[in-house]
Structure 1
Amino acid sequence: MTEHIVVVGAGYAGLAAAKLAAKWTDSRVTLVNARDRFVERVRLHQLVTGQSLRDLPLADLVKGTGVDLVVDQVTAIDPDARKLQLTDRMLTYDRLIYAVGSHASLDGVPGAAEHAHAVSTLEDAEKLAAALKNTRTVAVTGGGLTGIETAAELAESRPDLDVLLVTDGGFGQALSAKGARHLRKTFDRLGIRVRDHAKVGEVRADGLVLDNGERIAADTVVWTAGFRVPDLAARAGFAVDDHGRMVVDETLTSISHPDVTGIGDAAAIKRPDGLELRMACATGLPTTQQAVRGLAKRLHGEEPDPIGFRYIQQCISLGRRDGLIQFVNTDDSPKERVVTGRAAAFYKELVCRGTIVFERHPTIPAG
């Protein structure tokens, strides 16, 4: 009997997984997603400045692949009965690929959920874009890649804005000395103020309050300090870590439910040497390929191989005309080598375009 594989979530990992499962197995494949469009999450910081993103209907992206698309919300999973609860019906599966992604974490600091904006979903970005129409001062919280890219994009596209980046760590601390110098130089050129080693204690309608009581005025607060995953796996009784991510083994199979594969941001993925992979397309796409190939082997009675992954680089956009390519060691620690300026911006643009090429043809090498 033909098995039924259901993929929950059509982000970068989920869409690729569905198409690969349809190609590499003899199973019937269904892809379930709450919206009918693919969202280029890596470009949402561009959307908030008024730039247009490509319209990418999921129906077009799966056309001719053998994947059945269901546009609906998964509200619950019953792993014992192997059923998904959708809005008004049930969907059964033999194998489940869990790829629900992540979103901004706004619960850790008082007032963030009420007063801050995020850039982790299309809805977040659209709300932020609307808020920026009546904004003069923007405080971007979080010194990771999302915060850096968002602050730079805002400052370049909207020179009328007063942009401030607030981070509780050191500014550019994950970069090499050369990378950190270029980052600082670029932020100075764009007029972005930086407050590092500054921990936010509260978000208010008129700005931020730091742990030391200092107030920072801002018309709009953008929150990029951390991400969280939906609680779908935890509520279903799957083994999850302290952050709610599905705990998977070295083949990306759930350690509590061997008929379930966890991929992308919603899975706690570790290399065989124990290094936990960060949330990123750079990790999600190649490990998705390996996970689905392992599932195909298992369906054919073979033993799947453990995933293999090594870091190569971090690609950071600093507006449309500048960028930073930070080369890294296999454990993601920075090398001194960097590429900067327009060459880096062009390279990052090719990477972003390449993600869509990959979604259309997910068998091409992803890393």
Structure 2
Amino acid sequence: MQHRIIVLGAGYTGATAAGRLARRLRREDVAITLVNAEADFVERVRMHQLATGQDLPPRPLDAMFTGTGVSLKLARVTAVDAERRAVTVTGERGTREELPYDTLVYALGSGWHDQGVPGVAEHAHDIANRPGALRLRARLADLGAGAPVIVVGGGLTGLEAATELAEARPDLDVVLAVRGGLGDGLSAKGRRHLREVCDRLGVTVHEHTAVDAVAAGHVTTAAGASLPSEATVWTAGFAVHPIARATTLETGDNGQIVVDRSMRSVSHPQVYAIGDAALAMGPGDKPLRMSCASGVPAAWQAADAIAARLSGGKVPVTPVRYYQQCISLGRGDGLIQFVTADDRAVDRALTGRLAARYKEAICKAATWGVAHPLLVPSRARRVVPRQERAGEAVAGTAL
């Protein structure tokens, strides 16, 4: 019988893992199923572009995985039973189905996090996914000149959203509210360039400003100030998909699945978690941050570990480390902040148009890697029957 591998989620990490597994293992030995709620691959790192009116080319998943041996199933994941090794999904017509697995790769990712702030869910917009970005796009199209728009959050997503919006719609009054200082965590050069870009684009920055409530036409700060806003964009963090917390899988306080260095669940060895869904430790024993920079290498690690264990080979463990933080500041400007392995800023930074091109090249490379899984050379391995694997003499022993 074929070894059944189910990958949940076809974002950067899930799609990358599915494609890499298809290269690493022989089709006659494994059945790889990729489950996703949408038919297209979503370039999440470009949602701020979509929200500001730019059109992104469609990337159908079925076309991406044609000829790979990966079976695409369009459905929404509603439950995971880690004890019975089964996933429950709901199809496009509301039909429920149970999918049994031998190995599960959990890559359901994350969505926006309202942080429990009153009014966010009712009145704010998010750009954590395509539906949210499209809703914001429609709202922005209705706004006239001079309308105030507030972006809440000074992380990379907030910086990209505010500058992209200010460049695309210079007629709007774009405000950025950050809890700390502008560009906290960047180098001095990075902070200086970021401030220059905000000044040039006309972005009003409120530093050391926490937003305590969001209403239809304004936000209220912790200091009691009321700031007018015809569209509030909430980028103050991400929350993982809630399904994992409802399972018997060991999770951290925020619902991420706790994994070892090979991205394998510490409580259920048949399950691997990657991307934002995983609580994985990086250099300096610091948790990897939710990002594409963490997720794609984690997907490589998980796929290679699964292939090695199934083929009886040595499991490679390549530490996930960081090299840079890439920030687009509109279409013609950017900031590449070089960092240590554990993601701390160093003095070196690339800015301006060259940085914008650098960021664009990285985005295109990430998408190309997902869209062309068979063009990366790799030797497929034969799956060794369980009873033949070293240290696994009894059928049914965990992978």
TM over 0.5: yes
TM-score, scaled to structure 2: 0.89
- Counterpart position of 2:345: 334
1:60 to 2:63 alignment: yes
Alignment partners' CA distance in 1, 2:337 and 2:283: 25
- The alpha-carbon deviation at position 364 of structure 1 amounts to 5.1
- Counterpart position of 2:42: 39
- Counterpart position of 1:126: 134
1:75 to 2:78 alignment: yes
Counterpart mapping for 1:23-34 below 5 A: 23-25=23-25, 26-34=29-37
Match 2:334 to one of 302, 313, 323: 323
- Counterpart position of 2:383: none
Match 1:138 to one of 143, 146, 149: 149
Alignment partners' CA distance in 1, 2:177 and 2:115: 18
- Counterpart position of 2:289: 278
The SS at the match of 2:45 is: helix
- The alpha-carbon deviation at position 273 of structure 1 amounts to 4.1
- Whether the aligned pair in 2 keeps the contact of 1:21 and 1:27 (CA below 8 Å) is no
Alignment partners' CA distance in 1, 2:341 and 2:371: 28
Alignment partners' CA distance in 2, 1:119 and 1:179: 24
* Aligned Cα root-mean-square deviation (Å): 1.3
Amino acid at match of 1:232: I
The SS at the match of 2:105 is: strand
- Whether the aligned pair in 2 keeps the contact of 1:22 and 1:28 (CA below 8 Å) is no
Identify if the C-alpha distance between structure 1 residues 265 and 188 changes in structure 2 by more than 3 Å, giving closer, same or farther: same
- Whether the aligned pair in 1 keeps the contact of 2:283 and 2:341 (CA below 8 Å) is no
Unaligned runs of 5+ in 2: 91-95, 378-399
Tell me the number of residue pairs that the alignment of Structure 1 and Structure 2 aligns: 365
1:230 to 2:241 alignment: yes
Alignment partners' CA distance in 2, 1:137 and 1:309: 41
Alignment partners' CA distance in 1, 2:303 and 2:116: 35
Unaligned runs of 5+ in 1: none
1:260-311 per-position Cα deviation (integer Å, ceiling 9, x unaligned): 0000111111126412111111111112111110111111223423331221
The SS at the match of 1:299 is: helix
The SS at the match of 1:249 is: coil
Match 1:51 to one of 50, 54, 59: 54
- Counterpart position of 1:18: 18
- Whether the aligned pair in 2 keeps the contact of 1:263 and 1:287 (CA below 8 Å) is yes
The SS at the match of 1:180 is: helix
Match 1:356 to one of 367, 370, 376: 367
- The alpha-carbon deviation at position 107 of structure 1 amounts to 4.5
More divergent stretch after superposition (29-38 vs 331-340)? 331-340
Amino acid at match of 2:50: L
1:93 to 2:107 alignment: no
Q: Which runs of 4+ in 1 moved over 3 A?
A: 361-365
Identity %: 48
- Counterpart position of 1:184: 195
- The alpha-carbon deviation at position 60 of structure 1 amounts to 0.4
More divergent stretch after superposition (161-170 vs 273-282)? 273-282
Amino acid at match of 1:282: A
